[in-house]
A and B are shown apart, each in its own frame.
Chain A
């Protein structure tokens, strides 16, 4: 049983949540409005038009949602498989050229994506990966991997591998060591890294458009069409769908991330 939070802290938390949620409210209202003029507090007319467009066969939103989810999940899985061993190597060992490796891993975060996009397009064209799901997943790894690797490196920097040797000396096999020793220790970091990767992949626009060649249509592609055209109602409706997976994942991950004094517990106290 955790102690109750002091009142000022609770107030602060409530404010923080409002501040994070507030921008989403107009989007939700827009999605159901027909006309909403400044400075009215509420729309002057409501309509389900935006939602019926979004779910029509023309909009491509349902397909976009599945494509986005499949790509983001694949990218997350692949970046786990690559980022976990890489992060372990960077966090636990000293080796020649480590600083250079770290810099190279950071490079995709330093170089603006748009500058690299056209060059990447060329490389992917030559590899025959454009217009394919695999190509889009792989290109999403480029901006996503640094997050995963760096999070895992910092997790492993504070990790003592001696526990693995103890387990092994007690007769545990490779899988058992991973399942019962390594995994529990790195799980919060792993989930943080996975969440980052998922969201980075989820929000890609220009890389998806160039590498997907229009054949792979994800939600951001559809969303930005309407956002840039000033159609607030349809933008609002697609946005509601767009933020859903991130919010759900955050809530699920939140339970595992902070342990006993979790965000969910603090929420319950407010």
Chain B
């Protein structure tokens, strides 16, 4: 039997093409090793010139994308000659996994991630696995604008920052409602428990696997514990065992009165936003109140949307940007992080039409003219004033606590 000459030729061609592609790919320039440390800020700025920053960040909001790719990108180009490349991801863990994989493969100076928008569990993963570049904060001129004495900035979900990330935004959990439809929303967890029973089917919360669902469950947990004080610090099994049954009872008692009788929970905060937009549920909540204004602006929520914090306080956090240890463009990433903390960048994103998020820098440390601009910013009526929210702010828990609560909810409430 003769072999098939035609197909064989095709196979050879294919093999040749693959080999060519493979060899070509080896010549795509790898970034140079970057082991040097910088002595002064001027050195950093000089080294950063002409650099490219691959910034991995959650990409689900067009206004944030516009701000970063448009305004920040253009300013970095003009002021420092840096090219900013925003890489939108679904979940920050995807970027963490890329760096983790690179470390395992021994790629220690030519990673693909230069900057990550991060906090909480992902920060913990990276810090503990030694995936972060640390200790450069003193070099950054705008670091003086940050109030590091504020425990909620110096600690990221209970884990000390220790110079491993740069604050970018602050967020504090708040509830939203449609004032035209629900004139008297519940103003505390205590009130919410009764309100849910009086309004069957009008409330639900995302499952614990969702970032915002998880923080709602923590509010109930704080309520069951009589406040967050006992829960702060490292995880304690005895305290957990004392508090958890009370919290699960509250949530299980609520269950028959939830949307769809609690047989199912929205799997993501976006699903809850949809339910609220469709008037299926009366309450919405989010860790970032700016989103209420954004959703009114983009037509998802009705213009009569209003928001508020709880009388017993709501949980606040800070979110940051961090530089992976194997970033080949550390100088450019540092200049970017420093620029993000500047008055100009923080003011621009505080504008309600742009993003409306709370600055991570301490406004009191700015010049008087700058402070005035911040105070004169208009606020979308759907967004509760950050000053009002900040009067009752609750601390975040250590990631081990959060994990235990999320797991406990799955086992005892979701089933």
Give the interface of A toward B (CB within 8 A). 33-35, 37-39, 45, 47, 49, 53, 56-60, 78, 80-82, 84-85, 88, 118, 121-122, 125-135, 137-138, 161, 164-165, 174-175, 177-178, 182, 209-210, 213-215, 217, 221-222, 224-226, 228-234
A210 touches B98 (CB 8 A): yes
14 other A-B residue contacts (CB within 8 Å) besides A125-B102, A128-B25: A38-B279, A53-B62, A78-B18, A84-B7, A85-B4, A122-B101, A132-B28, A134-B25, A164-B4, A217-B87, A225-B58, A229-B58, A229-B59, A229-B61
B397 at the interface (CB under 8 A from A): no
Name B9's closest neighbour in chain A (CB-CB).
A174
Q: Which of B18, B95, B280 contacts A38 (CB 8 A)?
A: B280
Please tell me if the beta carbons of A214 and B54 are within 8 angstroms of each other in the complex.
yes
Per-position contact with A for B1-19: 1 when CB-CB < 8 Å, else 0?
Answer: 0101111111101100110
Chain B residue numbers with a CB within 8 Å of A132 are: 25, 28
Given contacts A38-B280, A85-B7, contact A228 B102 (CB under 8 A): no
Q: Decide yes or no whether B21 CB sits under 8 A from chain A.
A: yes
Asked whether B7 lies within 8 Å of A37 as measured between CB atoms, the reply is no
Are the C-beta atoms of A231 and B60 separated by less than 8 Å? Answer: yes
The B12-57 residues at the A interface (CB cut-off 8 A) are 13-14, 17-18, 21-22, 24-26, 28, 30, 54, 56
- Give Cα distance in the complex from A224 to B90, angstroms: 7
With A85-B10, A178-B6 given, is the CB distance from A122 to B60 under 8 Å?
no
Chain B residues near A161: list those with CB within 8 A: 4
Q: A85 near B88 (CB under 8 angstroms)?
A: no
Whole-angstrom distance from the CB of A34 to the nearest CB of chain B?
A: 4
23 contacts between A and B (CB under 8 A): A35-B299, A37-B278, A39-B278, A53-B66, A56-B66, A57-B69, A59-B62, A118-B97, A118-B101, A121-B97, A125-B101, A133-B25, A174-B6, A209-B94, A213-B113, A214-B54, A221-B89, A225-B89, A228-B90, A230-B268, A230-B270, A231-B60, A232-B274
| In the complex, chain B residues 299-346 whose Cβ is within 8 Å of any chain A Cβ | 299-300
B39 to chain A, nearest CB (A): 31
Residue among B5, B22, B61, B98 with most chain A CB within 10 A: B98
Residues of the A chain whose Cβ atoms lie less than 8 Å from the Cβ of B7: 84-85, 88
Residues A135 and B25 in contact in the complex (CB < 8 Å), given A81-B11, A85-B7, A175-B6: yes
- Tell me if B11 and A210 are in contact (CB < 8 A): no
Residue B125 at the chain A interface, CB threshold 8 Å: no
Task: Output the least CB separation between B2 and chain A (Å).
Answer: 8
- CB neighbours (8 Å) of A182 from chain B are 6
The distance in angstroms between the C-alpha atoms of A165 and B95, with both chains bound, is 56
Give, as a whole number of angstroms, the nearest-CB distance from A53 to chain B: 5
B residues 327-377 near A (Cβ < 8 Å) are none
Q: Within the complex, which residue of A58, A130, A178 is in contact with B65, where a contact is CB–CB below 8 Å?
A: A58
Q: Tell me if B14 and A78 are in contact (CB < 8 A).
A: yes
Residues B274 and A230 in contact, CB atoms below 8 Å apart = yes
Neighbour of A45 across the interface among B4, B98, B299, CB < 8 A? B299
Q: Please tell me if the beta carbons of A215 and B11 are within 8 angstroms of each other in the complex.
A: no
Cα separation A58 to B86 with both chains bound (whole Å): 9
